[in-house]
Structure 1
């Protein structure tokens, strides 16, 4: 059985949010989009449901936090290369997003954070395939051994 993930995010301006996510290269599914929500298609199994804060509140009895001041979730999305990470950040920044912290380069993994205009945080990362297969420590040890013998 195949599963899909629908991540619900809040917005104070649905049209702005739709434009932002489309600027990242993703599409809006009009069948599941109305004045309260937009379905952002990231791939065939991953979707963001961007909901007005008022509509989001109908799905919970808990307080709906402001993503500009409170962290509720951190979403990490892989990219195919470091350049792809930089490219999507450039698109997001041009579309009104902000980069809340400096890029992280751990050798085996490169990541950058992007806050959408509502403050929802997205992390984009690239991990060296060998590090994903072997684990970070083994990959870094192998890299160190390779450079020492060169």
Structure 2
């Protein structure tokens, strides 16, 4: 069995959060979605579960943080090119998210990121060496 990764994030408005990620070009899986949760397909075996704050709190051993004021996790997603990094950041901003830094070009690695509607941080990275190993 191949492992699957489900990243669970609390969302103030699951529908708005779902629309945000679909505007970035990610897929949607209705099988794991209802009024309190939405399953976004980031890649094969990689899923983002957007949960209402109430549902998320039911799974969490600790109180929720405000993603606009505190950072609990930095999600990093690899991209196939520098252009894809820039394109996803542009789509995120157009869909209502925001950037929090400038693109970083370190020669062997290119990165930029955004915050979604709930303030969750997403780093996007292109590394040429990853392309050779995939």
Structure 1 stretches of at least 4 aligned residues deviating more than 2 Å after TM superposition: 129-133
Partner residue of 2:38? Answer: 38
Q: CA deviation at 1:15?
A: 1.1
- Confirm or deny: 8 A CA contact 1:6 1:49 kept in the other structure: yes
The structure with more helix, counted as a fraction of residues: 1
RMSD of aligned Cα (Å): 1.6
1:1-150 → structure 2 map (5 Å cutoff)? 1-129=1-129
In the aligned structure 2, how far is the partner of 1:130 from the partner of 1:9?
A: 26
Please give the TM-score of this superposition, normalised by the length of structure 2. 0.93
Task: Give the secondary-structure state (helix, strand or coil) at the position aligned to 1:125.
Answer: strand
Extract unaligned runs of 5+ from structure 1.
134-150
In the aligned structure 1, how far is the partner of 2:29 from the partner of 2:18?
A: 11
In the aligned structure 1, how far is the partner of 2:58 from the partner of 2:131?
A: 42
Structure showing greater relative contact order (alpha-carbon pairs closer than 8 Å, 6 or more residues apart): 2
Q: CA deviation at 1:132?
A: 7.5
Larger radius of gyration: 1
Please give the TM-score of this superposition, normalised by the length of structure 1. 0.84
In the aligned structure 1, how far is the partner of 2:44 from the partner of 2:130?
A: 26
Q: CA deviation at 1:129?
A: 2.2
Extract unaligned runs of 5+ from structure 2.
none
The structure with more strand, counted as a fraction of residues: 2
